[in-house]
Amino acid sequence: MQNAFAGLRKWQELALENWLASDGPWLCCATPGAGKTRFASRVIRVRNDEHRKPFAIVVCPTDSLKDQWAHSAHRSDGLNLTTSIRSGEGFPSAYHGACVTYAQLPTIASTVQTWVRHHGVSLLTILDEIHHCAESAVWGDGATRVGDCSDRVMALSGTPFRSDGAPIPFVTYDGCGFAAPQYAYTYAQAIAEGVCRRVQFRLRDAVVRRKWSSERDAEECQWSSCTEDVGSWLQSGLVHDGDAVREIVNDCWLELQKMIEAGDQLAACGIHCMSSGRNDLDDKYVNKIGKVVRQITGMVPTIVHHGVQGASAEIRRFRESRSPSDRFLVSIRQFGEGVDIPRCRVGGYLSNVSSEMYLRQVVGRYVRNEDRLNGQPQYAVMVMPEVPVFRQFAACVEEEARVGLEMVERSRRDNEREAAPSDERPTVQTVSVTGNGGSIVMSGDAFSLDDDSVRKAESISADFPAYPVGDLARIISRSASAGVASAVADPPMHVQCAELRKKCNSIAFRIAKDNPDDFANVGHVHGEVNKRQGVPYGVENGQNWIEKRRGVDGLQQRLAILRAMMEALG
């Protein structure tokens, strides 16, 4: 407990204090990009120090977020979270927890309940981006079943509301029907404390003419005056070969070049494409947008959509890329809420979705401040169609940012007054005080890196290309001050286990192929290894059973057994 707060930002410290002092379901509403994942992983680590048999279930909307969560928790707090839980399998005691998707919850809820009943597990359920759940829907029902058998439930969201207005499980509401979080952290506060960067908006207007097959005459609409049927007019105007798309992509390229010229050599851009609801049409559309990007910039973009196998790995590769020609990510609903690519500072919005929740989640991909910029201007740019609803949204975000900047300016003036000689300080006389309700004010400093940690991080950065210098410095700083074991030397356990499984399967295949008289197939080879490792009879997947209970050590032992078998069989 003495190191529970080490390395956290001020808002995360306050949130952790609030969590530890409370009981029951707990909602944290923090602006996108503020560090909710970092905060939640520390909660898991603190519980591990306090409970006899702790385990965490982290629920995410997508597979890519599930993978990102596991890597982030390992990097920041040395936690090992498995990403491959299946219905009916035994308790994975080798891990600190598991990352699953909301879609998985209905199928694994009974399995989790069995772990709690028969293994004495002290369960923490973390519902990330909980606004995806509705109490009456399948995902909400699955979240409720798992949450009800948990000791504590933590809900996280940057936008704790649903466009359909449906109630969200484990969220309390005030008398006006608004979510009432146990802890809140706003975009204005994040800007004032240097946690998030300001987003500038560039809006592009267009005149769209279209003709329905059932009509004789064409109709026309200018985006900047479009207040009805907005989604349909956006869809008509964002055709891949239209001027509007080319102008938005070109603006993104110009803004990106400014950042590169200013010294940010890793700056990147995300292009968010619209979805028609049909995977085949979406895949064609995003590929055509990729061609437009290539024509304008001369760069081959990374494209992720429904048909791309291994989208999570592709996004992670793009996040870690340092190539000067790898700067554009074109996607449909893959680079959305919770996906963290800090080097993306320019966003192009080619979608016809106009709900505030979706817009805030998209903009949230670009607000996270980066330590690696070393004092360079921290800002991002969103290029969007100029429809009134987008203009109003941009004005709202700009106003929140202005409030944050005013907080910074007030703090600067206060510091100047404190630094002035006492006889030169301005004085103030109270005229009157009238009670008029109240408010909550929170302040604090963003986590800053000491020079020694930065120097050490820079000296080893070449050995760990997957980690930006800022992340390495954070780990080094926390390891020195808090005694947290550095997780840099080894990848997360689920990644190590995946590599070991591949090696085991490869050797088992070779043994079966070269020795058909001894082993009819690969399954018979694994069956022999299961006997030697003491896997209970009847277990369907012995290799998976070993991983979940003995982790890396168990699979390394399995690999050694297979190698010995191959050598003995010649």
The string of pLDDT tens digits covering residues 525-538 is 999 999 999 998 88
Of 121, 71, 45, nearest in space to 494 by CA: 71
What pLDDT score was predicted for residue 39? Answer: 95
CB contact at 8 A, 356 and 389 = no
Helix (H) or strand (E) holding 106: helix 105-119
DSSP structure string for 477-542: HHHHHH-PPP-SSS--HHHHHHHHHHHHHHHHHHHHHH-TTT-SSHHHHHHHHHHHHTPPTT-S-H
Tell me what pLDDT residue 68 has: 87
- Which regions of 336-487 does DSSP assign to beta strands (E)? 344-350, 379-385
Residue 512 has pLDDT above 80, yes or no: yes
Answer whether 122's CB lies under 8 Å from 151's CB.
yes
Per-residue pLDDT, 473:
57
| pLDDT tens digit sequence for 217-227 | 888 889 988 88
Quote the pLDDT of residue 569: 85
d(CA 207, CA 160): 35
| Residue 251 structure tokens | 């603006």
In the predicted model, is pLDDT for residue 136 greater than 70? no
Which pair of tokens denotes residue 508? 């088992």
Contact by Cβ (8 Å): 172, 206: no
Q: What percent of the chain has pLDDT over 90?
A: 37
pLDDT of 434 > 50? The answer is: no
- For residue 213, pLDDT over 50 is answered with yes
- In terms of phi and psi (left: phi > 0; alpha: psi -120 to 50; beta: otherwise), the region of 389 is alpha
Lowest mean pLDDT among 96-105, 174-183, 509-518: 174-183
Neighbours of 350 (CB within 10 A): 25
What's the pLDDT score for residue 195?
86
Q: How far apart are CA 7 and CA 15, in angstroms?
A: 14
The band of 466, judged by pLDDT with boundaries at 50, 70 and 90, is: very low
Give me the helix-helix angle, 356-363 and 388-419, nearest 10°.
Answer: 50
pLDDT tens per residue across span 542-554: 888 889 888 999 9
Task: Please state the φ and ψ torsions of residue 394, each to the nearest 5 degrees.
Answer: -60, -40
**Contact, 77 vs 6, CB < 8 A?**
no
Q: How many residues does the chain have?
A: 570
Q: Express each pLDDT in 381-423 by its tens digit.
A: 999 999 999 988 888 888 887 776 676 666 656 665 555 554 5
Tell me the pLDDT band of 161, cut-offs 50, 70 and 90: low
Burial (CB < 10 A; 0-12, 13-18, 19+), residue 301, is buried
pLDDT at 477: 56
- What is the signed CA dihedral for 485, 488, 493, 497, rounded to 10 degrees? -150
Please give the pLDDT value at position 432.
Answer: 26
Give how far Cα 123 sits from Cα of 68, 82, 135, Å: 21, 15, 21
353-365 mean pLDDT:
86
Cα separation, 269 vs 253, in Å, equals: 8
Beta-bridge partner residues of 304: 331
Residue 359 — pLDDT band, cuts 50, 70, 90? Answer: confident
> How far does Cα 77 stand from its chain's mean position?
16
pLDDT digits (tens, 9 = 90+) for 262-280: 888 899 999 999 887 777 7
Determine the average pLDDT of the residues in 347-366.
88
pLDDT band at 427 (very low <50, low <70, confident <90, very high): very low
- Across 104-127, average pLDDT: 92
Q: Work out the number of other CB atoms within 10 angstroms of the CB of residue 428.
A: 5
Average pLDDT over residues 333-358: 85
Give the Cα-Cα-Cα angle 314, 315, 320 (nearest 5 degrees). 100
pTM of the model: 0.73
User: What DSSP string runs through 263-319?
Assistant: T-TT-EEEEEE---S-HHHHHHHHHHHHHHHHHHHS---EEE-TT-TTHHHHHHHHH
Instruction: Give SS3 for 99.
Output: strand
pLDDT confidence of residue 20? 93
**pLDDT value of residue 28:** 93
